[in-house]
Amino acid sequence: MLDRLNQAMEHIEQHLDRQIEVAELARITATSEYHFRRLFSSLAGMPLSEYVRRRRLTVAAAGVLAGEPTLLEIAVRYGYSSGEAFARAFRAVHGIGPGEARRTGAVLNAQPRLSFRLTVEGNSTMRYRIVEKEAFRVVGKKARVPLIYQGANPHIAELIRSIPAETMGRIAALSDQDPAGVVSATVRLSDGFEEGSALDYYHAVVTGAGDPAADLDVLECPAGTWAVFENTGPFPEALQQMWGDVAAQWMPSNPYEYRPGPEILATRPVAEDPAQSWAQLWIPVTRSPTA
Residue 266: which of 189, 198, 193, 204 has the closest Cα? Answer: 204
Q: Please identify, in words, the CATH class of the domain defined by 2-104.
A: mainly alpha
- Per-residue pLDDT tens digits of the chain, which is 291 residues long: 678 888 999 999 999 998 999 999 999 988 888 888 888 887 787 888 889 999 999 888 888 887 778 899 999 999 898 989 999 999 888 888 888 888 876 778 888 888 776 554 444 556 789 999 999 999 999 999 987 766 678 888 899 999 999 999 999 999 999 999 999 999 987 765 566 678 899 999 999 988 888 999 999 999 999 999 988 888 777 777 787 788 877 887 788 999 999 999 999 888 778 778 889 999 999 988 765
Domain ranges in the chain?
Answer: 2-104, 127-287
CATH code of 127-287, in short, is: 3.20.80.10
CA distances from 187 to 167, 219, 261 (A): 22, 10, 7
pTM higher than 0.85: no
Contacts 24+ apart (CB under 8 A), 167-173: 167/141, 167/215, 167/216, 170/213, 170/216, 171/139, 171/140, 171/141, 171/203, 171/204, 171/205, 171/216, 172/205
CA atoms lying within 13 Å on the CB side of residue 58: 14
